[in-house]
Amino acid sequence: MIQVESLTKTFRDKARGDRAVVDQVSFEVRDGEIFGLLGPNGAGKTTTLRMLATLLKPSAGRALVDGHDVTAEPAEVRRRIGFLSGDTGLYHRLTPRETLRIFGRLNRMEEDRLRDRIDEVISMLSMQEFADIKVDKLSTGMRQRVGLARTLLHDPPILILDEPTSGLDVPTARVIEEFIVSARKSGKCILYSTHVMEEAEFLCDRIAVIHEGHIRIIGTMGELKAVTGRERLREIFLELLDSGGMRKAAVV
Ligand SMILES: Nc1ncnc2c1ncn2[C@@H]1O[C@H](COP(=O)(O)OP(=O)(O)OP(=O)(O)O)[C@@H](O)[C@H]1O
Ligand SMILES: [Mg+2]
């Protein structure tokens, strides 16, 4: 599971001075749960996820991944997570299968196990048709699947996915959504960010809305509806942004 307590990231900005872009954020993601982090552009989603993935050092507060502190035990944390972000780099001259083989070896996976696991991941994400075509000839959606396959290769119990369906067509987004649902079924702890309200409504067990570095609300769809008196996530989301700092009612 993931436990986040008063996590804060301050950036030094010459023009604007020190700025907390993630400000005392607290939440928990349980095993077997899909937790959605929603927020407008610049809200602090990627910064939060990057701190959890040990790529960015928190300025204050703490975060535990399966009990391991992201600052004190980054290697333990990295072993347990699969992190997908929009800028997950891929080597253009390699095929998806070669990419996976290299990352598996870097992760010191045993060769027989690696070969089986690569086939498994390729089939899980419906990548059979393009598994042996060089990455530079693939479409955005295909590359996104290669990136996701890479993060899944070592079968981590915790998935941290930053806008995994961004820029994808409906059928490709569907492949990824179905994968996320099946990962939940196998007990994984899934934290992901998205701008797609319908997808969050459909996928998430709980949702947190973050705005200007602050969590505005956390709860199930039912709880969010009850607190805001609105039906659809899109309306709930807009209302929470409109109400500025007024509504901090956190339904946990
Ligand atoms: N390295 C950095 N130095 C200074 N400011 C930064 C840095 N990284 C991010 N920021 C600022 O932090 C704020 C939050 O950015 P972040 O990328 O976390 O937002 P986001 O919620 O992921 O937005 P989006 O939906 O556009 O991806 C933004 O104002 C951004 O400009
Ligand atoms: Mg982002």
Go through 148-182 and write b for each residue having 16 or more CB atoms within 10 A of its CB, e for each that does not.
bbbbbbbebbbbbbbbbbeebeeebbebbbebbee
Ligand 1 center to residue 42 CA distance, Å?
Answer: 5
Decide if pLDDT at 250 tops 90. Answer: no
What's the residue count for the chain? Answer: 252
Decide if pLDDT at 46 tops 90. Answer: yes
pLDDT at 94: 95
Q: Which residue minimizes the CA distance to atom 3 of ligand 1?
A: 11
Decide if pLDDT at 246 tops 60. Answer: no
pLDDT digits (tens, 9 = 90+) for 164-189: 998 888 988 998 999 999 999 999 99
Average pLDDT, the chain: 92
Residue 166: give the domain boundaries: 2-242
pLDDT at 252: 44
pLDDT at 247: 47
pLDDT band at 13 (very low <50, low <70, confident <90, very high): confident
Which of ligand 1's atoms lies nearest the C-alpha of 50? 18
> Looking at the domain assignment, is residue 161 inside a domain?
yes
Decide if pLDDT at 241 tops 60. Answer: yes
Choice between 252 and 30, residue whose per-residue pLDDT is larger: 30
> Looking at the domain assignment, is residue 252 inside a domain?
no
> Looking at the domain assignment, is residue 248 inside a domain?
no
Which ligand has an atom closest to residue 10 CA? 1
Mean pLDDT for the stretch of residues 18-24: 94
Mean pLDDT for the stretch of residues 5-19: 90
pLDDT digits (tens, 9 = 90+) for 197-232: 999 999 999 999 999 999 999 999 999 999 999 999
- Please report the DSSP string for 178-189 in residue order: HHHHHHHHTT-E
Q: Which residue minimizes the CA distance to atom 24 of ligand 1?
A: 41
Decide if pLDDT at 235 tops 80. Answer: yes
Which of ligand 1's atoms lies nearest the C-alpha of 48? 18
Q: Does the model's pTM come out above 0.85?
A: yes
Least confident range from 7-16, 121-130, 215-224, 242-251: namely 242-251
pLDDT at 200: 95
> Looking at the domain assignment, is residue 250 inside a domain?
no
Q: Of the residues 18, 21, 38, 48, which should be mutated to test ligand 1's pocket, given the most ligand atoms within 8 Å of the CB?
A: 21
> Looking at the domain assignment, is residue 247 inside a domain?
no
pLDDT digits (tens, 9 = 90+) for 48-102: 999 999 999 999 999 999 999 999 999 999 999 999 987 667 889 999 999 999 9
Mean pLDDT for the stretch of residues 109-135: 95
> Looking at the domain assignment, is residue 118 inside a domain?
yes
Report the CATH number at residue 108: 3.40.50.300
Ligand 2 center to residue 22 CA distance, Å?
Answer: 12
Q: Which residue minimizes the CA distance to atom 16 of ligand 1?
A: 44
Quote the number of domains for the chain: 1
* Contacts of 151 by beta carbon, 8 Å cutoff, 6+ apart: 82, 83, 84, 88, 159, 161
Choice between 18 and 30, residue whose per-residue pLDDT is larger: 30
